[in-house]
Structure 1
Amino acid sequence: MKWMRIPLGLLQTNAYILTNDKNECILFDPGDEGEKLIEVLRKHQLTPLAILLTHAHFDHIGAIDDVRKVWNIPVYVHEKEQKWLGDPSLNGSGHFMNGKNVTVEEADEIIREEGSLTIGSFQFSLFETPGHSPGSISYYLEEANAVFSGDVLFKGSIGRTDLLGGNHEELLKSIHEKLLVLPEETIVLPGHGSETTIIEEMETNPFLNGFSLS
């Protein structure tokens, strides 16, 4: 399986297109610029099967309805953030976007707990990784040796925790208990910036040094 990273919108939020050898794909966090994203999908003759959200902040959801107008595919979100999709005061756009409220239609599939998720030939392990937001989900794809971490873990940094439902200690606990236990060579595909690996963050990330789970 292969992936493409496409930064979208003012915040250059990473949308990911994960593809298989049948030209089917899964979309992660289509945050903005729906026409641009649709053009990429058509150019590569890809058939989307689903949209998976790592969380429901406005910069990760803005192009959902544009995509669904072309392909009638389900959207997955954690239950703790299902109401955020239609509420600018929850998803942050009401505060950060100077009157440009971001709302999208309700999700089709609600994630209520950790476990496995199979969509076509794609098989994910779901990890609840709150701290940046209460319903943050990380999607681990063992076959591709990759985890889609959203705004939980970045190259050399971690997610901010000063937004609604954020909690710094909870975020660090999520990272240490759910992500750093993955194989060291696992590729981390974050919501902003470039890719990294678990071992690189274990060794060099200054925000993770000295944290104790006790």
Structure 2
Amino acid sequence: MDWTQLPLGPLQTNCYILSNDEKECIIFDPGAEGESLVAWLKQNGLKPLAVLLTHAHFDHIGAVEQVRQEFHIPVYLHKEEEEWMENPALNGSARFELGEVKARAADHLLTNEAALTIGSFSFRLFHTPGHSPGSISYFFEEGNVVFAGDTLFMGSIGRTDLRGGNHEQLLKSIHNHLLSLPEEVIVLPGHGPATTIGDEMDSNPFLNGF
């Protein structure tokens, strides 16, 4: 298994491609630059199986339609944000001067913390609200990585001033779910460089007291 980080769009939102030896892959948060992303996937001979969204803010869903239509694959999202894909006021794009973003509703709505298996890829799901009400972190144990979206960053945490954000809830999500993972687990955030659970426990100023 291998993962690749592809920062996309004006906010440089991290799209991640998780692939196996058979060239099958999962796409996390295709946020923008759909044509370039599709071209990259084809150039690398990859066969996408699904799109997994950590949440439905506009900068994480901007290329969903191009990827979904090109490869005919399903999109997964937490039920708490069921209406966000189609609504610029909910997904935040109406607030910023970057153009409204819309996509068709997700094909599969996730409602609980459980296991999710797609092809040969198996994930543990953590509902980690706070940055947004439907934020999900996907723990891929085989690869020792967690796709954390905008919940936890290197040296920082997600903003909580957008619709449905809650600072206290975000800290609880990080503490109860992410910090319970082994310290060597790699955290793949929605923006910026990768980090580890151990490094954030040791040095993240927003997590003092945990």
> Which amino acid letter does the alignment assign opposite residue 39 of structure 2?
E
Alignment of 1:147-166 (within 5 A): 147-166=146-165
Could you tell me which runs of 5 or more consecutive residues in structure 2 were left unpaired when the two chains were aligned.
Answer: none
Percent identical across equivalent pairs?
Answer: 64
Normalising by structure 1, we get a TM-score of 0.97
> What count of residue pairs does the alignment treat as equivalent?
210
Matched, 1:2 2:10: no
Shift in Å, 1:68 = 1.4
- Correspondence list, 1:72-87, <5 A: 72-87=72-87
Aligned residue in 2 for 1:143: 142
Q: Which runs of 4+ in 1 moved over 2 A?
A: none
AA aligned to 1:40 is W
The aligned counterpart of 2:119 is 120
Give the corresponding residue for 1:25: 25
- Local SS of the residue matching 1:94: coil
Aligned to 1:200: 199
What is the RMSD of the two structures over their aligned residues, measured on CA atoms? Answer: 0.7
For residue 97 of structure 1, report the CA deviation from its aligned partner.
2.7
One-letter identity of the residue aligned with 1:64: V
Q: Name the counterpart of 1:209.
A: 208
Partner SS state of residue 104, structure 1 = coil
| Cα distance in 2, alignment partners of residues 67 and 182 from structure 1 | 31
The match for 2:181 is 182
Q: Which residue of 2 aligns with 1:37?
A: 37
| 1:166, distance to aligned residue in structure 2 (A) | 0.2
TM-score using structure 2 length: 0.99
| Offset of residue 83 of structure 1 | 0.3
Could you tell me which residue of structure 2 aligns to residue 93 of structure 1? Answer: 93
Give the deviation of 1:69 after TM superposition: 1.8
Alignment of 1:167 with 2:166, yes or no, is yes
Deviation at 1:102, TM superposition (A): 0.2
